Structure 1
Amino acid sequence: MSRSARLVPAAAALLLLAVTGTACDGGAQDTAGGPGLHDPYFPKAGNGGYDVGHYALTLDYTPAGRRLTGTAVITARATQDLSAFDLDLAGLRVDSVTVEGRAARWSRRGQELTVRPHAGLSDGETFRTTVRYSGTPRTLTDPDGSREGWLPTADGALALGEPVGSMAWFPGNHHPSDKATYDITVTVPSGLQAVSNGELTERRTKGGRTAYHWHTAQPMASYLATVAVGHYDIARSTGPHGLPILTAVDPTQAGASAKALSAIRGVIKWEETNFGPYPFSSTGVIIDRPDDAGYALETQTRPVFPGAPDTSTLVHELAHQWYGDSVTPASWRDMWLNEGFATYAEWLYKEDHGGPSTRETFRRFYDGDHEEIWAFPPARPSSAAHISDSPVYQRGAMVLEKIRRTTGDDTFYDIVQGWAAAHRHGTASTAQFTAYVEKKAPDKDFHEIWKDWLYGDGRPRHA
C-alpha cells in the first residue's frame, strides 16, 4: 500500500449484527475449528482447523441496484478433525451452504459464519464447501478510518481488501497466513468491464450481460484479491521475458496515466535486477478515478491506483509483488516486511535514476522534523489503527539501509533477493527475516539494529 496516497476519513465504528441461519446453535465442540487466528491486531481474522487451497468465486453484480449475487466454492484441507468450522463473512445474506455436496447446518454471529457438515471431517481430509449468498455488499471502515471492502464508484464498484475487507464480498479464511489460488468470474451489464487478478481466460456475453473469468494460478492472500467494475480502457503489452502486461484505465484518467503506463516495463525490469525474477505469470495496473479510493493498493499482479500514479508510487506498488504479495506477512504485526521493503524500493530507484542516495534519504529522515517516524518501532505497531503509519514505512526502510551499511552491497542484495526466493509464494515473519539476515552474514553483528531500529522505542541515538 502507498501511504502517501492514502486518505484517512473520520473514523467510524463497524457494527456487525448476529444473524442466525438454519437451525443450529453453531457452538464449538472439541473438534470445532477456532473462530479467529488470534492475530495480534485482528484477532477475529481467519479461522482455525483448515487450510484453503482454492477459491472459485462466481459473482453477478448490477451497479444500478448495488446488488451482488455470489457463489463461493472453497476447496480446503482439514488440519484437525472437524465437527464444525468458521468462515469470515461481513454482511450479505447466506442463502445455502453445502459441504461435499450435502446440505450443512450453519449460523451467523458477527463476521463468523459457522458451518456444521453433515458428517465430521477427518484431519488431512480435502473437502469442498459451497456458499450461496446475496445482498448489498458493505464498505467497511478500518481502525485507521480508511475504507475497504466493496466501494461503489461512479460507474461500478471497486473491491479492496487490506486488511480484512475481502470478507465484505466473499466468505473465506481472511488472514494473510492462508493463501490460495483463485478463479473469479464476474458477470456485469454488457458495456461494463470486470477486471480482477491474474489472467483473463474467458469472456462471454448472453442476454445483455457479460461474464469475465479471471484465473490466479499462484497462491494469493485474500486481502490482495480485487474486482474492479466499470468503464475501462484495456490494453495489453509485454514486459521482460515476454511477461504479459494488462492495464485497465478509467477513460477520465487516460491522458494523465500515459507516463505511468509507459514506465511499467522499465520498472519491472529494474526491480527484477534488484529483487530477482518477477514472481507471477502476469502484471499490470488498474487506474480508477481519484475519488474511488483513498489509497493505492498492491492487489496481486494488478495494483490499484486512485488516479494516475507518480513514478515512486508505481515503483512502490510493483515492488510489493515481491514483498507482500509473493512473500506475505505471517501476521499483521509483520506489516513492515511489506511496507519497509516497498518504501526502500522507492529510495533505491531514486538513487539509480539521478536522485539522492539511500544514505542521503536515510539522513534526511533521521535529521529532519519527522517525529512521527519515532512513534513506535516498525516491528511493533502500537495498535491496529497504526499498522499503516510512518514507522512501518520510513523507519522500516531505515532498517534495511542499516543492514545494507553493515553487510555491504553484495551481501545485501544476496539477502533481499534470497529472501524473496526462499519464501516465494509463502508467508514469513519478522523473526524469520532477522534469522535469515544473520545466517547470510554470520560474521556481522546485527544486535544493535534489531534492538534500536527494529524493536526499540524512540529515535535511536546513533544513525
Structure 2
Amino acid sequence: MSVAPSDSRHSYFPERGNDGYWVEHYDLALDYRVGANRLRATATVSAFATRSLVSFALDLDRLRVTAVLVDGVPARFAHTGGKLRVTPIRTLHEGTLFTVEIRYGGNPRPAPSRWGGLGWDQLTDGVIVASQPTGAPSWFPCNDQPCDKATYRISVTTASPYEVVANGRLTARRRGASTTTWVYEQAEPTATYLASVQIGRYQAVEVPGAVPQRLLFPPRFAARARYDLARQGLMAELFTELFGPYPFGSYTVVVVDDELDIPVEAQGMSIFGRNHMDGRRGEERLVAHELAHQWFGNSLTLEGWREIWLHEGFAAYAEWLWSEASGGETADVLAERWHRRLARLPQDFPLADPGARRLFDDRVYKRGALTVHALRRTLGDAAFFPMLREWTATYQHGAVTTDRFTRLAGRYAVAPLEGFFTAWLYTERLPALPAALG
C-alpha cells in the first residue's frame, strides 16, 4: 500500500518524485537485446489521484518516448530534463483511479550522480540494475520517491542463453525460436529504487529451507559462491528469531561476473560481484548485511532519504549480530572498537539528517550500528528485541521515519529516551556508549 508523501521527501533530491498521485502498480514489458544494449518497452502505470490533475509528471531519463495513453486515450506529452509531463484530454479528479501507458525505448544508460552511474548498466556480458537512490528512471517511467511503494509485474524478453531475474515470483517462462520471455510478479509493495532486473549467463541453484533461496552465479564460480553463501540459511533463521518473520516469499542472490565496489540491494534480492566471493567467506559480513536489508530497507522503507540510518544502521548492526551468533567477535567488542575509531574521525553531521553527499558515508553506517547497540544496552535484550519485532511487524511493507521509531522505542524504556535520541541522532558529537549489559 502506498504511503502519503511527506514534505521532507524532496529535501535531498528535489528533481525526483512527483506530487498529485500515488502509484498502485507498475506493469513493465521489456524487450532487450544484450549485445546492442537496445530496449523497447511499454510501461503501464496504475495510479490514484490525490488531487484534481490537469497534468502530471513521471520521472524518466534519456530514453525516447513514442506514445502516451491515459485510460486508453492518447494524451499530449513533453519529455525534457528527466521529466515526462503528461496532459490527458480531461481532468483527472481527486480520488480517480487511472492508468498511464508509456511506449518508449532506446539505449538505456545509468543516470549520473555524485556516486557514479545509477540504474540500468551493462556488464561484460549482461545487465545489472543498481538504482539506489535515484537510478530507477534510467529504465522505466516512475514516481521516483521511496515512500510511494507499488506492486510490480515485470516481463523481460531477451536472447535464450541468458537467465533473467527480477523482483518477486517467476510466474511464466515462454521460450521462442531464439528468445525467452520471463515474467515476474512482486505482490509486496516495492520502492522504485528497489525494483530490479538482472540478465546474465548464470547457473541457477534452488536452496530449500524456511526461507527458500535461489542462487545464480557464473558456472566457473560455482564452488566459491556456494561455499561463501552456504550459511545464508542460518543467517535467515537468526534474523527471523531476532527481527521477526522474513517479509517475502523467497530470497535471491545473484553473483555477477564483474567486480563491484559494493553489493547491490533490491527487494527480495541481493547482487554481489565476483570479488565478493573468495571461497573463504572473507566477505561474509556483507552477505549478512544485504540479507538484513530485506527487513530494514525493503520491507520497512525510509519515507525520505534523510532517514538512511534506519536502513544502513540496522543492516550494519546485523553484521555484528551474525558475528556474535556464529562464533566471531561479540557485538559489544565490535561496538567498542568502532566507537574508538569514529571518535578519531570528524564528527560533523547529525545521524538523522546527514545530508545528501554523506548518504553512503561509512560513518553513517557505523554510527547507525552504534546507535542501535547503545539502544540495546539501554533497554536490555528483554525489551530491545521485542521492540524490534514490533517495529518490523507494525510497518511491514510500509514507509518509516525516525520519529516513528523513537516513539515506539520509548514505550519499551523504563525512563524517557528523549536525551538519548537527541545525543545519538540529532547531535554531531559522538556520545559515550552506555555501560555494557551485565
Q: Give the 3 Å change call, closer, same or farther, for CA 210–160 of structure 1 in structure 2.
A: same
Instruction: Give the one of 302, 305, 316 matched to 1:329.
Output: 302
**Structure 2: runs of 5 or more not aligned:** 278-282
Instruction: Give the one of 347, 351, 374 matched to 2:324.
Output: 351
In 1, the alpha carbon distance for the partners of 2:287 and 2:433 equals 32
Residue equivalent to 1:186? 156
Alpha carbons 1:53, 1:77 under 8 Å: kept? yes
In 1, the alpha carbon distance for the partners of 2:273 and 2:402 equals 30
Alpha carbons 1:253, 1:288 under 8 Å: kept? no
Residue equivalent to 1:254? 222
* % identity of equivalent residues: 37
In 2, the alpha carbon distance for the partners of 1:334 and 1:106 equals 34
Q: Give the 3 Å change call, closer, same or farther, for CA 38–399 of structure 1 in structure 2.
A: closer
| Between 450-459 and 93-102, the greater mean CA deviation after superposition | 450-459
In 1, the alpha carbon distance for the partners of 2:239 and 2:254 equals 19
Once the 2 structures are TM-superposed, how far is the Cα of residue 252 of structure 1 from its aligned partner?
A: 3.6
In 2, the alpha carbon distance for the partners of 1:373 and 1:204 equals 55
In 1, the alpha carbon distance for the partners of 2:106 and 2:171 equals 27
What TM-score do the two structures reach when normalised by structure 1? 0.88
What TM-score do the two structures reach when normalised by structure 2? 0.93
Once the 2 structures are TM-superposed, how far is the Cα of residue 369 of structure 1 from its aligned partner?
A: 6.4
Residue equivalent to 2:399? 427
In 2, the alpha carbon distance for the partners of 1:117 and 1:239 equals 49
Residue by residue over 1:240-275, the C-alpha shift from the partner in whole angstroms, topping out at 9 and shown as x without a partner, is 1xx432221122432221223322221111110111
Residue equivalent to 1:6? none
Residue equivalent to 1:238? 208
Give yes or no for the alignment of 1:436 onto 2:408.
yes
Give yes or no for the alignment of 1:409 onto 2:377.
no
Residue by residue over 1:394-428, the C-alpha shift from the partner in whole angstroms, topping out at 9 and shown as x without a partner, is 00011111111111101000111110001000001
Residue equivalent to 2:368? 396
Residue equivalent to 1:338? 311
1:24-423 pair list within 5 angstroms:
39-143=10-114, 145-240=115-210, 243-291=211-259, 293-307=260-274, 308-309=276-277, 310-368=283-341, 371-372=344-345, 374-381=347-354, 383-423=355-395
Residue by residue over 1:356-396, the C-alpha shift from the partner in whole angstroms, topping out at 9 and shown as x without a partner, is 22121111112236644734222111x32210112320000
In 2, the alpha carbon distance for the partners of 1:95 and 1:171 equals 13
Alpha carbons 1:300, 1:325 under 8 Å: kept? yes
In 1, the alpha carbon distance for the partners of 2:262 and 2:160 equals 29
| Between 126-135 and 106-115, the greater mean CA deviation after superposition | 106-115
Alpha carbons 1:377, 1:391 under 8 Å: kept? no
Alpha carbons 1:406, 1:444 under 8 Å: kept? no
Residue by residue over 1:145-174, the C-alpha shift from the partner in whole angstroms, topping out at 9 and shown as x without a partner, is 333211111111111110011110000011
Amino acid at match of 1:328: T
Count of residues paired in the alignment = 423
Alpha carbons 2:124, 2:258 under 8 Å: kept? no
**Structure 1: runs of 5 or more not aligned:** 1-33
